[in-house]
Structure 1
């Protein structure tokens, strides 16, 4: 065998070794990436083994899995917000459009059951229909006016009913917020007319009470004056009259300037100061 053939053979063998080495490294790297799963914060991991959901749920962190046999599906378990508007009927058959915001999260230890029973599209399949059903069931128990005046009570009942419905599918309800109730134009006009009538009735009532109070004040004043006159009449005696006459005569003497009155054709007036 010539030297050239020997060199070519050695080169081929070395190239083959490098190729095998690269393949081995690639396989090891592939096995390495397929052997571990990282679950991010706020998520849980659903383990599938040959397509079957496993009972173990992976929590945050690094986890080992069987390469090519097991698959890990991460699913978010943080609080999520669903906001929707639903139309329903009140007890008095008024059309009510309710805008509601719902905060909820998945049970981190039961996401495998949720995935097995519902899948990942649980908002469309479970949450939204449950909100609509709860709103319709509760609003039907109240009149349109009561939905406004008893808003906190309505909200509490919706939350209670919705909690029960969602918990069946391992969804935890955190809080709900009924943003607004919207009614028909006819109902809004009726409410406005009623408010105006109530305000007018209240004004009339206040005016009537004011007039009544004024009349009572006038009566009280007249009664007081009558009582004062009665008391004064009781106090007028002959002695009091005589005293007032003497006081009048004394006042006349005090004002006399010492001159006799110049009177003709009549008797001279005199003041009897000796009268007792």
Structure 2
């Protein structure tokens, strides 16, 4: 038993050293990440290590990890337009590093490459593009402005090994003076539309009055012509109709008493009436 324990003790140190060496010579690259190796003799190795478990020489080599997933970043700037209006813009960029260029990126920029590159080139491109448009064009041609910014920013980012998945303008505001001018212009346009409506309404009412007057004049002319054609006969007919209406009204009234007006004559008779008050 003692011999076995002595044998195990003799092998424990070499086995422990071997296990420790194997452990330190292994490294894992997580999903969505890449790694580059720094060698003490050769510097940063040109190859890129993908996901999974890999081996290196302990102490002699070291793994540097990069997150290569697409990440968002906002870039804000305040600059002047072509007509000297102050514009505030915020740009949203989805970016990732170019996998094959990670060794060069680490050598020139380090692991915080996006903090070093994106703010500077983003401000540069925004100022250059906005200066080509008037303030009004930035509103009416927003898609063209966004496209121009995207093209220029893609070109500049590729020089540093960055890939931009998407570039879009998320915020665009103007200076206080320009905003007030736009509001006053809108108010003036609304007042002009209101005045135009009032004028059109007055014209329609005037036209309606003219048409109404012409109709009344035509009706009066027709009545006059009818009277001229009918002569006194029409007037007499109207008088007889009125007399009939009066007689019918008096006959139906209970407060009317009829008295004879005299003797009867051939062919007719007449009577007087009194009102019983």
SS of the residue 1:57 aligns to: coil
Moved segments of 4+, more than 6 Å: 257-262
The equivalent position to 1:45 in structure 2, one of 16, 30, 35, is 35
Q: Over residues 101-140 of structure 1, what are the superposed CA-to-partner deviations in whole Å (9 max), with x where a residue is unaligned?
A: 3222223344234324433232233211121122112211
In structure 2, distance between residues paired with 1:21 and 1:187 = 81
Q: Output the aligned Cα RMSD.
A: 3.4
Query: Unmatched 5+ residue regions in structure 1?
Result: 1-13, 263-269, 271-276
Q: 1:195 to 1:254 in 2, by over 3 A?
A: closer
The equivalent position to 2:202 in structure 1, one of 188, 211, 220, is 211
2:129 aligned with 1:138, yes or no? yes
SS of the residue 1:104 aligns to: strand
Structure 2 residue aligned with 1:172: 163
Structure 1 residue aligned with 2:78: 87
Structure 1 residue aligned with 2:54: 63
Identify the range of structure 1 (64-73 vs 162-171) with the bigger mean alpha-carbon deviation. Answer: 64-73
Q: Over residues 64-118 of structure 1, what are the superposed CA-to-partner deviations in whole Å (9 max), with x where a residue is unaligned?
A: 3344444321100112222232121101011222233322222334423432443
Q: 1:228 to 1:80 in 2, by over 3 A?
A: same
In structure 2, distance between residues paired with 1:65 and 1:106 = 24
Identify the range of structure 1 (180-189 vs 225-234) with the bigger mean alpha-carbon deviation. Answer: 225-234
2:265 aligned with 1:245, yes or no? no
Deviation at 1:230, TM superposition (A): 4.4
In structure 2, distance between residues paired with 1:25 and 1:225 = 124
In structure 2, distance between residues paired with 1:92 and 1:43 = 46
- TM-score, normalising length from structure 1? 0.73
In structure 2, distance between residues paired with 1:104 and 1:21 = 51
Q: In the TM superposition, what are the counterparts of 1:94-243 in structure 2 within 5 Å? A: 94-233=85-224, 236=227, 238-239=229-230, 242-243=233-234
- TM-score, normalising length from structure 2? 0.73
